[in-house]
Amino acid sequence: MRTCIAAVFALSCALSAAAAPPNIIFLLTDDQGYGDVSAHGNPILKTPNLDRIRREGVRLTDFHVSPTCAPTRSALLTGRHEFKNGITHTILERERLAPGAITLAQVLKSVGYATGIFGKWHLGDEAEYRPNRRGFDEMFIHGGGGIGQTYPGSCGDAPGNTYFDPAILHNDAFVKTRGFCTDVFYARAMEWIGAQVKAGKRFFAYIPTNAPHGPYTARPEDAALFAGKVPDDQVANFFGMIHNIDENIGRLLAGLEEWGIAKETLVIFMNDNGGTAGVKVYNAGMRGNKGTAWLGGTRASSFWRWPGTLEPGDRPALAAHIDFFPTIAEIVGAKLDDEVRRQIEGRSLLPLLKDPSAPWPERTLVTHLGRWPRGTDPGEWKYKTCSVRRPRWHLVSDAGAREPKWELFDVAADPGERTDVAAQHPDVVKDMADAFDAWWAEVRPMMVNEGATGPKINPFKEIFWKQFGGGPSAEDLERMDPSRPFELGPKKKGKKTKP
């Protein structure tokens, strides 16, 4: 009887939420790790506003994303694994979201939401792939995988861009901004949100900053806060960028109070992959970082704050980025057609958000770095940097390639993944390895970007030159040529930053 009453109450809450859907603000940072939050134990970095969202919200403590940026973004917006979206890299046309994929923004727009993106898209720079063709009414983005990045083919930002005063594509034209990039994105997002509030419209504001991705460039006053307290200047700038993000989040939360919509707004914070520069200081006891299949490469913060509706607390259930789409769709009461339902492979988190004791059946999640060399057979890299996860077990093939090199970890007892127990549990290894092989067979035909060739000139540069004049030099054209090997791509001063 108690179980039945609880189920009816949970259903009632869900229906209530659907009857009064909230505004949604989704904050996503780039290359900030799970350990780069003071509430997670970081001994140096202080993030009082992130800590506030965490303290006042539901915390998914075993939440996982992909090992790199574009893959995570595609899974969040489609509810399915990135390989099924054609995304097997972050560059080389393999970051483009498959044209047939239906995005969360399209679903929200269909139920009356105003939709806006402010920051990093990284799912295709050509016109047909941009956010304004994928469900977003308002588009305010940089190009490529980061401000100032350029790679042969379609993936690249406006020429000459840096983290200060960047040229940003606002809908169909560039605007030359003033200030630090994160400040610029949050200021524009808040201006847009204010306009929606004034118009009485529900909104979905997606604010995926490029910070704190490299090159590690903070405002000098922010980097100075950590000088002499961290191993090097890179970490000081990395933490400085996060400090700046945190301050902008504080201004956003204050804005919600001023507009009188704090209780009508669901604020979600996540990071897009494992840690980077900050792991030199703190990695929350995890093995691995960005670009690996260890837990340190995929575990992410996932905070859900909806005052008066979601009771704060931890949720230790195994959850992932693919759950984001179906969760938001259920919260807003969207009726999904058969095509969208077939696309989504994640689960709605709403039962867990409402009730920490809600049933959550065991599940299997697969991670794969992708990023195999251009022009090679993906099968040659099937078992390279990949893993299979269940609540207790993590099966990892870090050094494999055509053949696996499986290691098994009991993460319930060994969260730092120090002891390989594959020899003691061969049945578990076989079962999970079989699940991986079945998964690969399913996703391999959906890798639609393999072998794709992009345009000779980056689309963002072409738009910029048409608007402001100028154009590429012969050397620029040679570097941008997608027919040339990737290694002969953009020449950069100093140490190269991985995309």
102 falls within a domain: yes
Tell me which residue range forms the domain holding 386: 365-446
| Radius of gyration over every alpha carbon of the chain, rounded to an integer in angstroms | 22
Q: What is the pLDDT of residue 479?
A: 65
Q: Measured between alpha carbons, how far is 335 from 323 in angstroms, rounded to an integer?
A: 16
pLDDT tens track for 281-329: 999 999 999 999 999 999 999 999 999 999 999 999 999 999 999 999 9
Span of 14-23, 363-372, 429-438, 474-483 with lowest mean pLDDT: 14-23
Examine the fold and report which residue of 354, 389, 422 is the final residue of a domain before the chain moves on. Answer: 354
Q: Is 304 part of a structural domain of the chain?
A: yes
Q: Looking at the structure, do residues 298 and 344 belong to the same domain, yes or no?
A: yes
Of how many residues is the chain composed?
A: 499
Q: Where are the beta strands (DSSP E) in 379-496?
A: 384-389, 393-399, 406-410
Residue 487 near residue 481, CB atoms below 8 Å? no
Are 34 and 99 within one domain? yes
Confirm whether 286 is domain-assigned: yes
By the 8 A CB rule, do 197 and 259 touch? yes
CA 152 to chain centre: 23
Q: In what order do the strands lie in the sheet with 138-142?
A: 173-176, 167-170, 138-142, 114-120, 203-208, 23-29, 265-271, 302-305, 58-64, 313-320
Same domain, 390 and 350: no
Residues 129 and 198 in one domain: yes
- pLDDT confidence of 262, banded at 50, 70, 90? very high
More confident position, 10 or 146 = 146
Token pair of 346, please?
A: 């994640």
How many distinct structural domains can be found in the chain?
Answer: 2
Distance CA 44, CA 42 (A): 6
Residue that terminates a domain, selected from 411, 429, 446: 446
Q: Do 19 and 78 share a structural domain? A: yes
CA 297 – CA 220 distance, rounded (Å): 29
Which tens digits make up the pLDDT trace of 234-261?
A: 999 999 999 999 999 999 999 999 999 9
179, 280: one domain: yes
The CATH number of whichever domain residue 425 belongs to comes to 3.30.1120.10
The answer to whether residues 140 and 47 belong to one domain is: yes
Residue 51, φ and ψ in degrees, nearest 5: -60, -35
pLDDT band at 483 (very low <50, low <70, confident <90, very high): low
> Which CATH number covers residue 96?
3.40.720.10
Mean pLDDT, rounded, of the chain: 93
Q: Is residue 171 part of a domain?
A: yes
- 419/308 same-domain check: no
The answer to whether residue 420 sits within a structural domain is: yes
Encode pLDDT of 162-220 as tens digits.
999 999 999 999 999 999 999 999 999 999 999 999 999 999 999 999 999 999 999 99
- Specify whether 285 is located in the same domain as 253: yes
3-state SS, 220-280, equals HHHHHHHCCCCCCHHHHHHHHHHHHHHHHHHHHHHHHHHHCCHHHEEEEEEECCCCCHHHH
Q: Are residues 107 and 229 in the same domain?
A: yes
Residue 29: burial class (beta carbons within 10 Å; 0-12, 13-18, 19+): buried
Within a domain: 423: yes
- The tens digit of pLDDT for each residue in 372-426 reads 999 999 999 999 999 999 999 999 999 999 999 999 999 999 999 999 999 999 9
From 427, 446, 465, the end of a domain falls on 446
**Residue of 377, 437, 325 lying closest to 101 (CA atoms):** 325
Q: Are residues 318 and 403 in the same domain?
A: no
Q: Does residue 235 belong to any structural domain of this protein?
A: yes
- Is residue 25 assigned to a domain? yes
Q: What is the pLDDT of residues 97-141, one digit of tens each?
A: 999 999 999 999 999 999 999 999 999 999 999 999 999 999 999
Q: Which two tokens stand for residue 424?
A: 């003691």
The pTM score is: 0.93
308, 410: one domain? no
